[in-house]
Amino acid sequence: MSPLRPDLAIIAREVTAGARVLDVGCGDGALMAALRDEKQVDARGMELDPANVAECVARGLSVIQGDADTDLSDYPEAAFDFAILSQTLQTTMRPDLVVDQLLRIGRKAFVSFPNFAHWRVRLSLLWGGRMPVTRLLPVAWYETPNIHHVTIDDFRALVRDRGITVEGAWFLSGDRLTSAAAANFRAEHAVFLLSR
C-alpha cells in the first residue's frame, strides 16, 4: 500500500490504539484502513462520493454515503473518541458548524486543511494577481471544491472565538514539519487536534 499522505500520517500516529474513530470525508479509506490494521481502531467513515464509498465497502470498511454539512447531526453525542476531518473543512458550506458537530460527536477532533496564507499562495496573488493554483490547491477557481479558503491564523481565530481548546497542532511544508511561529507564512498544510 502507498504511504499515507503526510497529514494523515500525523493523525494516524496520534490516534490512540483501540479508539472509536469517525473519518469524515474518508475518501478511499486509506486512513481508516491504516488505523484498523495498525492500531485496531474501530473506524467508521463518511464520504460524499458514491464511487469512493463503494471502494471503501469493498475494502471491508464501514462507510456511509453522507455529507459533512447535513449528516453529522445523525450521530449521538460523544459517539467517538476522535472525529477526523482531513482536507475537507474548506469544502463545506459552514465550516464553523461542522467543527461544532465534530466536537459534539467526538471527544476530540482532528482537522487538517491547506493554508491559504502560505507564501506561494500570497506571491501568486500578489505578483500574478490570479487565484493560486499550487500543489495543495491544484484546481482552478471555477471548478475547485474549496469554497471556503482558510488560513492558519483564520482557523486559530475561529477556535479561540468558539472557546475550543487546541490540544496539538502540526504544520507541514511538503512532508516536513515546520515551526508554529511562522506557520501562517511557511506551512502549506495544518493539522489541529481540538477538544471542548
User: Which parts of this chain interact with other proteins (CB under 8 A)?
Assistant: 42, 44, 50-51, 53-54, 56-66, 74-76, 79
Closest Cα to residue 86, out of 5, 142, 150, 155?
5
Least spacing, CB of residue 135 vs other proteins, in Å: 31
Tell me the residue type at 18.
G
Q: Which is nearer to other proteins, 79 or 133 (CB)?
A: 79
Phi, psi (rounded to 5 degrees) for 70 = -120, -25
Q: Which is nearer to other proteins, 52 or 115 (CB)?
A: 52
Closest Cα to residue 69, out of 92, 103, 96?
92
Least spacing, CB of residue 65 vs other proteins, in Å: 5
Least spacing, CB of residue 36 vs other proteins, in Å: 10
Residues making up the chain, counted from first to last: 196
Q: Which is nearer to other proteins, 14 or 42 (CB)?
A: 42
Euclidean distance between CA atoms 55 and 140, whole angstroms = 27
Euclidean distance between CA atoms 125 and 130, whole angstroms = 5
Q: Which is nearer to other proteins, 33 or 193 (CB)?
A: 33
Grid coordinates representing 167 are 490540544
Phi, psi (rounded to 5 degrees) for 64 = -115, 145
Grid coordinates representing 122 are 500570497
Least spacing, CB of residue 20 vs other proteins, in Å: 9
Q: Which is nearer to other proteins, 79 or 180 (CB)?
A: 79
Least spacing, CB of residue 71 vs other proteins, in Å: 8
